[in-house]
Chains A and B, each alone.
Chain A
Amino acid sequence: MKNKLWYLTKVSLSRKIKSKWFLVVNIILLVAITAIFNIDSLIGLFGGDFNEKQKIYIIDHTDGLYPSFKEAVKQTEVTLNDKKESSYDIKLYKKSLKEGKKKIKKDEKSILIELQPDEKDILKVKLISNNYIDTIDSQILTSALTSVRTTLAISSLGLTEEQISKLYEQPKIERIILDKTKKSEEENMEMMMTTIFPIIILPFFILSIYLVQMIGAEVNDEKTTRGMEIIISNVSPKVHFASKILAGNAFVLLQGSLLLIDSAIAFAVKKIIGSSTIVASGGFDVVEIIKTVLGSSLMNQLVYIIPLMLISMILTFIAYSLVAGILASMTTNTEDFQQIQTPIMLVSLAGYYLAMMAGVFEGATFIKVLSFVPFISAILGPSLLMLGQITILDFVIGIGIVIITNFLLVKYGLKIYKVGILNYSSKNLWKKMFKAVKN
């Protein structure tokens, strides 16, 4: 019987791997991941440029405010975006406003700003563009113009240079964090991790959906063709169920490893073609993030978070596969299975979104409680753990709950499976299944 278990597992797994779609999907994944990691080079290839600076032309009718404005933009960029190099190419335009407008119409992306004194001899501004202005650009320009106007207004009050410089002096802020495990210089790290974390757990989310679909399709295929009767007459439902769980999980682990290899290839390509450091995923340079993480104290946490996260994910994969097998055994065709598995997929989707937005719900008890819920805990738990909202013990308890869930799914699910796989009628389905659990 043990040999039959390995045989069934091997057949189930090799049927998936030897399918031409497995090869096609993985080629597409490799190309897609490489493209995403090298999107800047790809855009550059078609003439786009991530480093292209926003052109701003200034018509200055004031008493030489242009240099102050240029400096103010630079300072605002540093304050808002922590940028050392300006994203703007600001030039003085000496022709008329009419000529300027013509230029803007030709050079669609550029912006024209006319600075002139108002009736109170301070500052009046015309901001001209051919199209809508990007929100961040608008914010920076408005902030810079406000700063220039404030300077002008203050200087009109007849203050001394010393007084003005005192007025602009930044306050000295001493940052104190009471939690001794946290360092102020790594304050942004956690937020950064919560932003890139959804990218890390996305494959888990996709693979769990894939796993449910795979097991459901296989069990349904064997049921609808009535091949199940021949199979179950030679191997017990327990062995058959176990083979589906083993094959499904082996497949997702293999697919997960291939995704890692795809990512490594994508990194290698990025290194070889030497694309710019502006981002690949979600506005961050992944290489830089990894370097920062490796050099930070978060690394000490990750040493135990990553293995625990992997254990939790594998146990959750098993939970998903058990549920998929049980549900598939109850249904009589693929359409019914698609409907019956929808709630479990919605739970998983909710878990994914909650993990993405964990930072927003900081301190919420509801989110903490959800991090113990099986099917969700594997993705929500690590996110909350990194944010410091749950402790390592909480996460371990979450893992324990998944283990108990899996045990119960095996114990009672197997009873349902045994009855379900030979049931071809949807009449009194739930009654039959409850009866199976009771027996």
Chain B
Amino acid sequence: MLKVEKISKYYGTFKAVDQLSFTVKPGEIFGLLGINGAGKTTTFRMLMGLLDPDEGNITLNNKKIDYDITDQIGFLTEERSLLTKLTVKEQCLYYGTLKGMNKNDILSKMHELLEKFGISEYENKKIKELSKGNQQKVQFITAIMNNPKLLILDEPFSGLDPFNVELFKKEIIELSKKGSMIIFSSHRMEHVELFCKKLVILMKGKSVIEGYLKDIKEKYRKKNIFVKGTIPVDQIKDQEGVICVDKIGEEYQIKIEDSTYVSKIFKEISKSEDITKFVVEEPSLNEIFIEKVGESFEE
């Protein structure tokens, strides 16, 4: 288990990470979210042992993170951490050896993964000659080739087409099923919602939301009602508890303060004769993220 206990990191007088705590169990995919400059990179660097926390502790399976343990961690950075003058094979051998793997293991794992991601023909090509998407695949391969116990993925789908995003998703879920602890970071909330049962949202180094996604959504009182048909928009807008009414395609999205207003709105809408849809939904993570981050900015 990865245990992060009240870690803080200062750059001079600036507090980049402030008393952050969370745990990730084997097989869990954990979301570490935040806008740019929220403290994610500093947290990743502390998880990788690149920086020591000024306060608090980080342990992986009850061991402090140091060079004896980093061989068990895989890291995919937001920027492509590839040495572009090397060939794909050289790059895999380079990072694999630094992770303590032997040459035969690296080559057999590399061939398996290149085949899986459909880039076997690029084995001897220089990385700088590859497309952005294929470079991202190589980076992903180098991050997972040591079957890491802890895998940190920072914007893993960057530069990928929808087909390859699916390939990556499949592989990430497979790794989680095999027991890897995965920390996932992305600005695409739909991806986070898809993978992460548990998450933390950082703002100025502090956690503003943390816990299981289900609980977070439940605690978040605002709801969305999706309606298809003709509705008296102005009348609905004037109703108590309605935040706004937006038309999205052929549907209306009515945002309400909390679920207590649903029946009142339903009564009003049911007066119309052509209503074919009335669905109450939890807010998206994106909405929660934007609102919480906005609140923190105002503070």
| Additional A-B contact list (17), CB under 8 Å, known A225-B79, A229-B81, A230-B142 | A4-B98, A8-B98, A11-B94, A221-B83, A221-B85, A225-B81, A228-B81, A229-B75, A229-B77, A231-B98, A233-B73, A233-B75, A234-B71, A234-B95, A234-B98, A234-B99, A422-B45
A-chain residues with CB within 8 Å of residue B261 when the two chains form the complex: none
B70:A234 contact, CB within 8 angstroms:
yes
Contact with B along A64-104 (1 / 0, CB 8 A): 00000000000000000000000000000000000000000
Query: B84 in the interface, Cβ–Cβ < 8 Å?
Result: yes
A409: CB under 8 A from chain B? no
B82 within 8 A of A: yes
Q: How far is the CA of A222 from the CA of B98 in the complex (A)?
A: 14
How many chain A residues touch B (CB < 8 A): the figure is: 22
Q: Using Cβ atoms and an 8 Å threshold, which residues of chain B touch A7?
A: 97-98
Residue B233 is within 8 A (CB to CB) of chain A in the complex: no
A370 at the interface (CB under 8 A from B): no
Is the CB of B132 closer than 8 A to any CB of chain A? no
Which interface residue of A7, A225, A228 has the most chain B CB atoms within 10 A? A225
Q: Give the CA-CA distance A4 to B71 in the complex, in Å.
A: 12
Q: Is B247 part of the contact surface with A, judged by Cβ < 8 Å? A: no
Whether A202 sits at the interface, judged by CB under 8 Å, is no
- Is A233 within 8 A of B83, CB to CB? no
Task: Report whether B49 and A233 are in contact in the complex, using a CB–CB cutoff of 8 Å.
Answer: yes
**How would residues 1 to 39 of chain A score, 1 for a CB under 8 Å from any chain B CB and 0 otherwise?**
100100110010001000000000000000000000000
Q: List 21 A-B contacts (CB under 8 A).
A: A1-B67, A4-B98, A7-B98, A15-B85, A225-B82, A225-B83, A226-B80, A226-B81, A227-B83, A229-B50, A229-B77, A230-B75, A231-B98, A233-B49, A233-B73, A234-B71, A234-B95, A234-B100, A235-B67, A422-B50, A435-B12
Query: Which residue in B67, B77, B83 is a CB contact (below 8 Å) of A234?
Result: B67
Cα distance A228–B79 in the bound complex, in angstroms: 11
Q: Does B48 contact A (CB under 8 A)?
A: yes
In the bound assembly, the distance between CA atoms of A402 and B178 in angstroms comes to 55
A251 to B298, CA, bound (A): 57
Query: Closest chain A residue to B142 by CB distance?
Result: A230
Identify which of B12, B73, B80, B97 contacts A225 (C-beta below 8 A): B80
B73 CB contacts on chain A under 8 angstroms: 233
The 7 closest A-B pairs by CB, nearest first: A234-B98, A233-B48, A226-B81, A226-B79, A227-B83, A230-B81, A227-B81
- In the assembled complex, the Cα of A152 lies from the Cα of B243 at a distance in Å of 123
Residue in B12, B48, B83, B94 whose beta carbon sits within 8 Å of that of A229 in the complex: B48
A227 and B81 CA atoms in complex are apart in Å by 4
Proximity bits, B115-149, A CB within 8 Å = 1, else 0: 00000000000000000000000000010000000
Q: Which residues on the B side are within 8 Å of A222 (C-beta)?
A: 83
B contact residues around A225 at 8 Å (CB) = 79-84
Q: Complex formed: what's the CA distance from A230 to B75 in Å?
A: 7
Instruction: Tell me the nearest residue of chain A to B68, going by C-beta.
Output: A1
CB distance from B114 to the nearest CB of A (A): 19
Q: How far is the CB of A156 from chain B (nearest CB, A)?
A: 84
- CB of A236 within 8 Å of the partner chain: yes
* Structural contact, B79 and A233, CB atoms closer than 8 A: no
Give B60 Cβ to nearest chain A Cβ, in Å.
13
Return A106 CB to nearest CB of chain B, in Å: 61
Given A231-B98, A234-B98: A226 in contact with B71 (beta carbons within 8 A)? no
Bound together, the chains give a CA A374 to CA B26 distance in angstroms of 55
Cα A233 to Cα B45 with chains together (Å): 8
Quick check: is A232 within 8 A (CB to CB) of the other chain?
Answer: yes
Of A11, A231, A234, chain B has the most CB atoms within 10 Å of the CB of: A234
Distance of A15 Cα from B51 Cα, bound (Å)? 29
A416→B142 CA distance, assembly (Å):
29
Q: How far is the CA of A226 from the CA of B51 in the complex (A)?
A: 15
Q: Please tell me which one of the listed residues B50, B82, B100 contacts residue A227 in the complex, with CB atoms under 8 A apart.
A: B82
Alpha-carbon distance between A227 and B92 when the two chains are bound, in angstroms: 12
Minimum distance in angstroms from B84 CB to a CB of chain A: 6
Within 8 Å CB of B142, what residues of A?
A: 230
Measured CB to CB, the nearest residue on chain B to A419 is B51
Q: Which residues of A contact B80 (CB under 8 A)?
A: 225-226
The complex places the Cα of A329 from the Cα of B73 at a distance, in Å, of 25
Which residues does chain B contribute within 8 Å of A232, judged by CB atoms? 50
Q: How far is the CB of A179 from chain B (nearest CB, A)?
A: 57
* B9 CB → nearest A CB, Å: 13
CA distance A227 to B83 in the complex (A): 6
CA distance A225 to B71 in the complex (A): 21
